[in-house]
Amino acid sequence: MAGRVIAIDGPAASGKSSVSRGVAAALGWFFVSSGHFYRAIAWGTVRDQISSNSPDSLIAWIATRKLTLLEDEDPTKGVSLLLDGENASPHLSDSQVATTVSVIAAMPAVRDFINARLRALSENHDLVMEGRDIGSVVFPLTPWKFYLDASPEVRARRRASEGAIDTVSERDRLDSTRATAPLTVPPGAIVIDTTHLTLDQVIQTALEHLHLPELTTG
Ligand code: CDP
């Protein structure tokens, strides 16, 4: 791992994306939502009518997929994903994607495909990467790990206020109980309960734990 990585994991709507963007902006590091990668693949299965109930056809399908990463000049905007040349961004919040993503994310072939691309990003970037298994599986050796959580009521309310139709509790159940890379508090992670904190308070709390040269003044 050439670049440094801050891993931010946690359940759906715990604030990971907003906090990760804020931390990335404070440091000038590159923001990456690993969930976007899973959502892009989930959208591809919907587009190509690949059944998530058929692991064999999904394994054959993913082996021939071409995922292209387009980097924005602004590092905090992260990457856009093209699947077979088609921009996945407009589709990532589709309701069919929300219902499919945790099913396909449980498959080791999908995780291997995505993890290779997530790790490659660290070869030439300092990253703030958010997801479910970043500190536990993707970058287990990084010294900077956070786990964000919030009460189920607050998380459901946050997602509803974004206007998204989502299946937060069902995805949490699938993500926490799967055999491969389940959602868990990574060893050594700092746990932040965001239930009663503002976004700025969570970002400041995370920054205070980092002790990075970028953050020292004078
Ligand atoms: O934004 P939210 O936390 O609701 O979800 P997301 O980060 O966009 O992730 C969508 C889904 O992708 C999750 O519910 C997981 O099933 C899967 N995922 C995963 O398995 N591992 C990751 N590192 C990131 C996402």
The pLDDT of residue 165? 67
Which amino acid type is present at position 115? N
Which neighbouring-strand residues pair with 193?
149
Give 160's pLDDT tier (boundaries 50, 70, 90). Answer: confident
Flag whether pLDDT at 29 surpasses 90: yes
CA distance 7 to 156: 23
How far does the centroid of ligand 1 lie from the alpha carbon of residue 218, in Å?
39
Three-state secondary structure string covering 109-148: HHHHHHHHHHHHHCCCCCEEEEECCHHHHHCCCCCEEEEE
How far does the centroid of ligand 1 lie from the alpha carbon of residue 102, in Å?
7
Write down the mean pLDDT value for the chain: 93
The pLDDT of residue 1? 57
Q: Say if ligand 1 is within 6 A of residue 128 CB.
A: no
Structure tokens at 70: 């387009």
What atom in ligand 1 is closest to the CA of residue 134?
Answer: 23
Which residues lie below 8 Å from residue 205, measured CB to CB, with a gap of 6+? 192, 197
Q: Say if ligand 1 is within 6 A of residue 158 CB.
A: no
Q: Which residue has the higher pLDDT, 103 or 211?
A: 103
Flag whether pLDDT at 125 surpasses 70: yes
CA distance 102 to 199: 26
CA distance 144 to 36: 21
The pLDDT of residue 217? 60
CA distance 175 to 213: 35
Q: Which residue has the higher pLDDT, 160 or 191?
A: 191
Q: Say if ligand 1 is within 6 A of residue 8 CB.
A: no
How far does the centroid of ligand 1 lie from the alpha carbon of residue 37, in Å?
9
Q: Which residue has the higher pLDDT, 44 or 214?
A: 44
How far does the centroid of ligand 1 lie from the alpha carbon of residue 36, in Å?
7
The pLDDT of residue 48? 97
Q: Say if ligand 1 is within 6 A of residue 24 CB.
A: no
Percent of the chain past pLDDT 70, that is, above it, reads 97
> In whole angstroms, what separates CA 176 from the centre of its chain?
15
Q: Say if ligand 1 is within 6 A of residue 155 CB.
A: no
The mean-pLDDT minimum among 33-42, 52-61, 66-75, 161-170 falls in 161-170
How far does the centroid of ligand 1 lie from the alpha carbon of residue 131, in Å?
6
Flag whether pLDDT at 13 surpasses 80: yes
Q: Say if ligand 1 is within 6 A of residue 7 CB.
A: no
The strand pair at 144-149 and 5-9 is best described as parallel
CA distance 139 to 175: 18
The pLDDT of residue 218? 47
User: What confidence tens digit (pLDDT) does each residue in 172-201 have?
Assistant: 999 999 999 999 999 999 999 999 999 999
CA distance 39 to 30: 19
Flag whether pLDDT at 82 surpasses 80: yes
What atom in ligand 1 is closest to the CA of residue 159?
Answer: 4
Superfamily of domain 5-210: P-loop containing nucleotide triphosphate hydrolases (3.40.50.300)
CA distance 178 to 156: 22
Cα(first)–Cα(last) distance of the chain, in Å? Answer: 30
Element containing residue 77 per DSSP (H, E): none
Flag whether pLDDT at 140 surpasses 60: yes
> In whole angstroms, what separates CA 88 from the centre of its chain?
15
Percent of the chain past pLDDT 90, that is, above it, reads 79
Domain boundaries, the chain: 5-210
The pLDDT of residue 212? 82
Structure tokens at 204: 């400041």
What atom in ligand 1 is closest to the CA of residue 17?
Answer: 1
Mean pLDDT of 137-144: 97
Q: What is the number of other CB atoms lying within 10 angstroms of the CB of residue 61?
A: 18
